[in-house]
Amino acid sequence: MAKRKLVVLSGAGISAESGIQTFRDSDGLWEGYDVRDVATPGAFRKNPALVLEFYNMRRKAALKAKPNAAHYGLADLQQDFDVQIITQNIDNLHEQAGSQHVLHLHGEIFKMRSVADTSRIYDITGDIRLGDLAPDGEQLRPHIVWFEEPVPKIAEAVPLVKEADIFVVVGTSLVVYPAAGLVDFVQPRVPKYVIDKKIPVQEGLGQVTAIEMPATAGVEELKKLLRGM
């Protein structure tokens, strides 16, 4: 018998419990930086060295981070479900915990690419410096989707959401688009669960099971609910 397809949309809240700092719209700052100075194409054109250093620091932080109980809990659900993770996070904590199917909407901190060719992608764990060139002779940049840039992976995510038998949102406030718009593609009768310390109000979600807890405790509760279905 085929396993039911469990699709999870994860956000910064799940990695926060592993010590990775999150961006908050309330103050417009990200680790003390204005996002307009470090996370837009214009910022990279204006001061590429600053942007590269900002992501070098984020890469160092991600290297130190370890998966938490929420990451391991979602990986554990693969025993009973066909689990697909769609994450807004750029770390690799889902993979470290053992999740086998992870789609990164906003890129990956441990990859870099040529500024001229988005298909030229390379692994990296160290720093990217100004003057570090891809084989095509162009400057290397983090393989990250910055604000104001398109999100090409959304085209892969939509059909996955449409196929969900169960849909889970964990650790995201559902305010960053186009990722937040994925909830609109969940089929009407599909059971939906939202896990967050503060459940966002979402008109389009319809009937949901709200688990108002941090991700670690919330995923544990989710496991109990799903395995009792």
Which residues touch 175 (CB under 8 Å, ≥6 apart)? Answer: 25, 200
Q: Are residues 137 and 218 in the same domain?
A: no
User: Taking phi first (over 0 means left), then psi (-120 to 50 degrees means alpha), and beta for anything else, what does residue 107 get?
Assistant: left
Give CA–CA dist 138/37, Å, rounded. 22
User: For residue 163, what are its two tokens?
Assistant: 């196929």
Give the other-Cβ count within 10 Å of 186's Cβ.
Answer: 22
Q: Are residues 86 and 181 in the same domain?
A: yes
Q: Are residues 180 and 209 in the same domain?
A: yes
Q: Are residues 114 and 179 in the same domain?
A: no
Residue 216 is part of which domain span? 1-20+67-106+151-229
**Whether pTM exceeds 0.85:** yes
Q: Are residues 218 and 128 in the same domain?
A: no
Active-site residues, by number, are 106
Domain of 123: which CATH number? 3.30.1600.10
Dihedrals phi, psi of 128, to nearest 5 degrees: -110, 125
Cis-peptide, bond into residue 41, ω within 30° of zero = no
Cα-Cα-Cα-Cα dihedral of 23, 54, 128, 111, to 10°? 0
Q: Are residues 211 and 100 in the same domain?
A: yes
| The total number of structural domains that make up the chain | 2
pLDDT in 10s for each residue of the chain, 229 residues: 789 999 999 999 999 999 987 665 444 456 677 878 899 999 999 999 999 999 999 999 999 999 999 999 999 999 999 999 999 999 999 999 999 999 999 999 999 999 999 898 999 999 999 999 999 999 999 999 999 999 999 999 999 999 999 999 999 877 666 777 899 999 999 999 999 887 766 555 667 899 999 999 999 999 999 988 6
Q: Are residues 220 and 122 in the same domain?
A: no
Q: Are residues 135 and 202 in the same domain?
A: no
